[in-house]
Structure 1
């Protein structure tokens, strides 16, 4: 038995379970955070790809002005600064996470109700990342969520779909079986010169994957 394991056992024997859990949660959070400037970011390879490669491209192009980011967490809070010169929207079902969303345009509702809040063809760009399998879990909800994205994205607009391509994290084969996702056309993301990108990451057997789509202009 290692010294670290012995120390953990001693701590568990002395402190109440609730305090032990809080300490473990804090240590985990510290281990997964990375300081960039004056803000903390999630220190995962997929987030680095998103923040260093994907977001900067869209920030630099004026045709992408009305932007929706699906899902809010502590590590998405800095994204509002990235899009400070854009019309930045967020949507999150949990009211407690509103503090991590857009200060001007935040929706507290499931993505499946997006069209209740904005008109059709409103957004130029939608980030649907880290939500499939982590909140939107059934085929029915997934179909409706992509239908809402399709309705609210303008023709020629772009959908960035990020998800974990690993059996325990994907409720079903979404790329092959989601009918409303098939309404979109693959979009060649210029920095990668590809319509999809798999992040190299030892944490996942198949890695986090980004798929890029556009709404057909003739839709």
Structure 2
């Protein structure tokens, strides 16, 4: 690849990264959600979905309090994960990928409609996350209203989880994102 093409590609990547980081949902995530999560000092957290704009997310948590695991289905995204705590795999198999780990929090932002698309996939992901969470553990599902149906109305999700606040965060927080569609953050607590 000629140097000019490489330079254009790098500049395009940096521009996209800056654009995504400036979106209202990403600002809320960085300025409100991640700091609030970190204050609870969970032992194990899973941040699902890694990209250039997510690579600093693990640094919100104190290393002596929390092990931050990352997961992405795309092997090329591993470079943005949390080093030795990153895994590549299917979000529908989170309990198998992290067989010996139980999470206090699983953070799934932008997964529904972007890889977990069918009702069967949502059901498999829900069941796997339920098994991977500690009793009373929490799952956060961030979703775009133009890409998927409301998880708080999904029978599989509500049969395994209670829609409820987490720490000082509300059960639901929505921000208007790209194209005027809402990006919604929903918290659910594991029920047995």
Q: State the TM bucket, normalised to the shorter chain.
A: 0.7 to 0.9
Correspondence for 1:37: none
Correspondence for 1:175: 152
Residues paired across the two proteins, number: 188
Task: Please give the secondary structure, in 2, of the residue aligned with 1:104.
Answer: helix
Structure 1 Cα separation of the partners of residues 13 and 98 of structure 2: 38
Coordinate RMSD, CA, aligned: 2.7
* Contact 2:44-2:105 within 8 A present in 1 as well: yes
Correspondence for 2:162: 185
Uncovered stretches (5+) of structure 1, i.e. residues with no partner: 1-18, 35-40
Normalising by structure 2, report the TM-score: 0.85
Correspondence for 2:49: 71
1:165-193 Cα deviation digits (max 9, x unpaired):
12xx22x454323413531011223434x
Uncovered stretches (5+) of structure 2, i.e. residues with no partner: none
1:99-155 Cα deviation digits (max 9, x unpaired):
111112111111111122334770000101011111111111111111111110111
Correspondence for 1:148: 128
More helix by share: 2
Correspondence for 2:172: 196
Q: Which has the larger radius of gyration?
A: 1
Please say which of residues 76-85 and 114-123 is displaced more in the overlay: 114-123
1:58-94 Cα deviation digits (max 9, x unpaired):
11122x1200011111111111212242101011111
Q: Show the 5 A alignment for 1:1-219.
A: 23=8, 26-27=11-12, 29-30=14-15, 32-33=17-18, 42-62=21-41, 64-85=42-63, 86-119=66-99, 122-166=102-146, 169-170=147-148, 172-192=149-169, 194-201=170-177, 203-216=178-191, 219=192
Q: Which structure is richer in relative contact order (CA contacts within 8 A, separation 6 or more)?
A: 2
